[in-house]
Amino acid sequence: MKALIVDDVEMNRELLAIHLEGIALVTFAESGEQALGMVEEALQKGGNFDLICLDISMPGMDGHETLKNIRSLEAAHPGSVAKVFMVTASSSPDDMIEALMSGGCDDYLTKPVMHQSFQELLRKHGLESCNS
């Protein structure tokens, strides 16, 4: 499995990567803009990430806007849609509703992310058996 972790805080990126150890080839982005470039490059090469873990609160382009742009890029490449988990410190119902209903994310996790919860989401979305 190929995973992209997008978070402006290095420690958060590293902690999420631990949950994917041994099951994914992990790439990191520090901003929404950087993530868009990486997704666009992957799509142009005929692939995409299997999973994108996307922080909501980032300077510049936030996670909601980043996700909308990712989905627009994917729309031009049918069959190349990544699973997206919004990962945030915010437990606001408004953030959750926006992410799940209007942003096109597949699931939502609140920091700190617990290993068992993360693994359950991977299973739920059929990602635990993706090969890297």
Tell whether 119 is covered by a domain. no
Q: Is residue 127 assigned to a domain?
A: no
118, part of any domain: no
Q: Is the pLDDT of residue 108 over 90?
A: no
For 46-61, what is each residue's pLDDT tens digit? 999 999 999 998 999 9
> What is the token pair recorded at 21?
């150890």
| 94-106 per-position pLDDT tens digit | 766 766 676 688 9
Domain with 18 in it: 2-113
**Residue 101 included in any domain:** yes
Domain count, the chain: 1
- What is the overall mean pLDDT for the chain? 89
d(CA 117, CA 98): 21
The model's confidence at residue 8, banded by pLDDT at 50, 70 and 90, is: very high
Distance between terminal CA atoms of the chain? 4
CATH of residue 11's domain is: 3.40.50.2300
User: Is 70 within the bounds of a domain?
Assistant: yes
CB of 97 within 8 A of CB of 62?
no
On whether the CB atoms of residues 86 and 58 are closer than 8 A, the answer is no
Is the pLDDT at 12 greater than 90? The verdict is: yes
Kindly state whether residue 126 falls inside one of the protein's structural domains: no
Q: Is 84's pLDDT higher than 80?
A: yes
Q: Which pLDDT does position 44 carry in this prediction?
A: 94
- Does a structural domain hold residue 120? no
Per-residue pLDDT at 132 exceeds 90: no
